[in-house]
Amino acid sequence: MFSFIPKNCRCLLSGPRGFPRRDAGPCLGIAARFMRDRSGAYAVMVGLMAPVFIGALALGSETGLWYSTQEKMQGAADSAAISAAVGLIGGDTNWTLQADATAASDGFVNGSSGTVVTVNNPPLSGPNTGIKGDIEVIIKQPQKLLFSGLFLKSPVVVQTRAVAGPTPEVICVLALNKGLILPGITAAASAAVLADQCNVQDNSPSPLALTVAVFANITAQEVNVVGGYVNVLGTVNATQGIHTGVAPVVDPFAGTAIPAPPAGPCDPNSASNGSITGTVTLSPTLRYCGGISVGASGNVTLSPGTYYMDMALLGVGLAVASGGSLTDNGTGVTIVLTSSNGLFANLANLDLGGLVSGGVINLTAPTSGPFANLVVFNDPLALASVLTFRGGTQNNFTGTIYSPAPLSVVTYLLGSGTKTGQCTRLIADMIVFGLTGASFSKCAVPGASTTAPASLLE
């Protein structure tokens, strides 16, 4: 019979009483070397673990594909939400189709390969739940199983979500009044206030804080009122609704001080010397006592800088008669209404006529410096003042009209206002609109974005 035991090792089997023979030494040495031999151990381990390693590698690669799909899907959801929100802000009633089309352009077609694109207005989940005007887009898509099919019984569903809406806190009409009796914003007598690219904010806690009456209309993205809202035969169109009992908004220009007007004589073209009837170019070197008055045949160009209307006790402020014009050619001008007359120094601006226009006004605020984005600045220390825009539809102020003094009133009367599309914001203690049209826009002013009207919220 064939044996695998070497001849010199058979002595291990033939010892008396079962013990190895004395000549068994070589056999024992071979056995010991066999026990100590580690050759091929890693090959055995690799052979045993190879399926595990290959499976983990394949599953990891497949998981990477899922993450890549999710990243692409999130971009599609973001784009779809922003696109639909922009359309909704612009009055498009097909914002759902807009979202579907945008998602499809990114490769996620609703109803194809199990893809589901859901568009909600308002959102049904998250911190913006129930906010009208915000768009929620949810994209779901099942993924084909490759190696993972050995471990998973059902397909993996990749899901992403995005919420977009109007850029928050874009306020272009702001009433700062904190009194408990007087309203902050009043619109009456067929007044038409257009702020469709931004919000209207009324900080007044009065029950009459926002009063809209007698066929007046306010159009805005959102209207927020600290106090109450009264509507008597008026209308308010706000895509994101009218909200009362909200928190007041901080004055973005609070703390901006007005230095003393330039010392020395008054400019010869001051209103105290009469109206300007010719064609002139003015400079901000001297103060303008009583303001600037442009007659019917006057054409005035303002060089860049800050113009101090030294009102004294009573003054014209800034007046342009029908047929006259006042422009700065977009170079950056701030009109400051203040006073340096004795007891009323930096205290009272009793401008009862101020900013009366029947002609053409085109003024643009500077983009830098202490009065950046301020095109009209009424002294915050004024005891009382009334700034009235009236007499035409060609008053174009690009920047912020700012009158923060307590009990100061900015009125838009008798067909005055700003042209649609002008980058204008109004901030005043109290604001009154009557028999007029006024347009305001969010662009090129602090606190407002010059990007698209909608942005991602979630």
Kindly state whether residue 331 falls inside one of the protein's structural domains. Answer: yes
Write out pLDDT tens, residues 407-430.
Answer: 888 877 655 444 434 578 899 999
Same domain, 146 and 258: no
More confident call, 338 vs 153: 338
The parent domain of residue 313 ranges over 171-453
Kindly state whether residue 264 falls inside one of the protein's structural domains. Answer: yes
Number of domains observed in the structure of the chain = 3
Beta bridge partners of residue 218, listed in sequence order: 193, 236
Question: Structure tokens of 54?
Answer: 């290959």
DSSP state of 266: B
Kindly state whether residue 60 falls inside one of the protein's structural domains. Answer: no
Q: What is the mean pLDDT of residues 293-304?
A: 90
Query: What letter represents residue 414's amino acid?
Result: L
Calpha distance 121→83 (Å, rounded): 13
Same domain, 160 and 179: no
What pLDDT sits at residue 289?
A: 87
Kindly state whether residue 54 falls inside one of the protein's structural domains. Answer: no
More confident call, 389 vs 337: 337
Q: What is the mean pLDDT of the chain?
A: 78
Same domain, 433 and 356: yes
- Whether the pLDDT of residue 447 is over 50: the answer is no
- Whether the pLDDT of residue 51 is over 50: the answer is yes
Same domain, 349 and 397: yes
Q: Which of these, 311, 306, 263, lies nearest to 291 by C-alpha position?
A: 311
Write out pLDDT tens, residues 141-187.
Answer: 988 877 666 666 778 888 999 998 876 657 889 999 998 989 999 99
- Whether the pLDDT of residue 297 is over 60: the answer is yes
- Indicate the residue among 127, 149, 166 that finishes a domain: 166
What pLDDT sits at residue 452?
A: 57
Calpha distance 248→255 (Å, rounded): 17
Q: Which of these, 35, 107, 114, 28, lies nearest to 74 by C-alpha position?
A: 107
Calpha distance 119→219 (Å, rounded): 26
Residue-wise burial string across 377-414, b where 16 or more C-beta atoms lie within 10 A, e elsewhere: bbbbbbeebbbbbbbbbbbbbbbbbbbbbeebbbbbbe
Q: What is the mean pLDDT of residues 46-69?
A: 69
Kindly state whether residue 52 falls inside one of the protein's structural domains. Answer: no
What is the CA 256 to chain-centroid distance, rounded?
Answer: 23
Same domain, 331 and 408: yes
Same domain, 221 and 88: no
Same domain, 17 and 105: no
Q: What is the mean pLDDT of residues 337-351?
A: 51
Kindly state whether residue 2 falls inside one of the protein's structural domains. Answer: no
CB 11 within 8 A of CB 29: no
What pLDDT sits at residue 348?
A: 35
Same domain, 288 and 308: yes
Same domain, 273 and 419: yes
Same domain, 73 and 20: no
Q: What is the DSSP string of 16-45?
A: GGGPPPTT-HHHHHHHHHHHH--TTHHHHH
Same domain, 107 and 143: yes
